[in-house]
Structure 1
Amino acid sequence: MTLPSAAEKALLAFTALGGWEQRARLLMQWGDSLEPLSDIERSDEQRVHGCESNVWLVAEPRAGRWHFRAYSDARLLRGLLALLLARVDGLPAEELSAIDLPGWFEQLGLGRQLSPSRSNGLNAVLRRMQELIGT
């Protein structure tokens, strides 16, 4: 399975950094780059349940592939969402259902920073993506 170009870019950027503080700064920058969601898109229908923080997710088909946009009111989680979106954007449905989320964050050097609640929240987002596209 090849990585989407945004995921390749994330992998290069994060693995080039030495410590958690540098990765945390970069994580915040990635979170700031999320495409904004409108007030209408931040509705209960788009809210992902199973996250401690508020997370909203929108799925849009584009040329036979899926494009996702997400937002959270928690800054660190926005960065993690941006990295999740980079990993899954444009994948066909069958590849989306085979994503190894813990493995992806380990590759980025962020595995130890994923608390059980953050991990559960990101898994809830991935499950919601799969529900939205019908896998």
Structure 2
Amino acid sequence: MATAAFEEIVADFEFLEDWEDRYRYVIDQGKTMAPLPDALKVPATKVDGCASQVWLHPQIENGVFHFDGESDAMIVRGLIAVLRALYNGVPVADVPGIDAGGELARLGLHDHLSAQRSNGLRAMILRIREVALAA
């Protein structure tokens, strides 16, 4: 059920054998995202439960889910980019059914993230699911 963009990340991860290269890849993914405008960095878009500052700005247009995000930590910004690849462009009704944990396990991220980063990643996924369920 993963998007083509997420499948591309999975393929790239399989090609990269060293975790330093994979971390660099995730960080580079975050660098490709446009910055979130300061006007959208408000309490309503802030994600609690993350060690760093994280904002997610979801949008639903014509029944399709999309979100932009920002973080003050480079690796977290990269994780936002990975989540965007997983969720953006998906029909909003399908978002809650995505097994984010299972899809991310394909990347092996949980084994290589600190407990705080893993908690933050779960908090971002929870926010995405909550927004989709409320739509």
- On whether the aligned pair clears a TM of 0.5, the verdict is yes
RMSD: 1.6
Shift of residue 16, structure 1, vs aligned partner:
0.9
| Matching residue of 1:68 | 67
Structure 1 residues 24 and 107, CA, compared in 2 at 3 Å: closer, same or farther? Answer: same
Q: Which runs of 5+ in 1 are unaligned?
A: none
Decide whether the 8 Å contact of 1:60 with 1:67 is kept in 2: yes
| % same residue | 37
Letter in 2 for 1:52: A
1:41-56 maps to which residues of 2 (within 5 A)? 41-56=40-55
Shift of residue 123, structure 1, vs aligned partner:
1.3
1:115-134 maps to which residues of 2 (within 5 A)? 115-133=114-132, 134=134
Decide whether the 8 Å contact of 1:101 with 1:123 is kept in 2: no
Shift of residue 121, structure 1, vs aligned partner:
0.9
Q: Which whole-Å CA distance do the structure 1 matches of 2:115 and 2:99 have between them?
A: 16
| Matching residue of 2:94 | 95
| Over 3 Å off, 4+ runs | none
Decide whether the 8 Å contact of 1:15 with 1:109 is kept in 2: no
Decide whether the 8 Å contact of 2:10 with 2:107 is kept in 1: yes
Q: Which whole-Å CA distance do the structure 2 matches of 1:62 and 1:93 have between them?
A: 9
Letter in 1 for 2:114: S
How many residue pairs end up in the alignment?
A: 134
TM superposition score normalised by structure 1: 0.89
Decide whether the 8 Å contact of 1:14 with 1:109 is kept in 2: no
Q: Which whole-Å CA distance do the structure 1 matches of 2:20 and 2:31 have between them?
A: 17
Q: Which whole-Å CA distance do the structure 1 matches of 2:130 and 2:109 have between them?
A: 26
Decide whether the 8 Å contact of 1:51 with 1:117 is kept in 2: yes
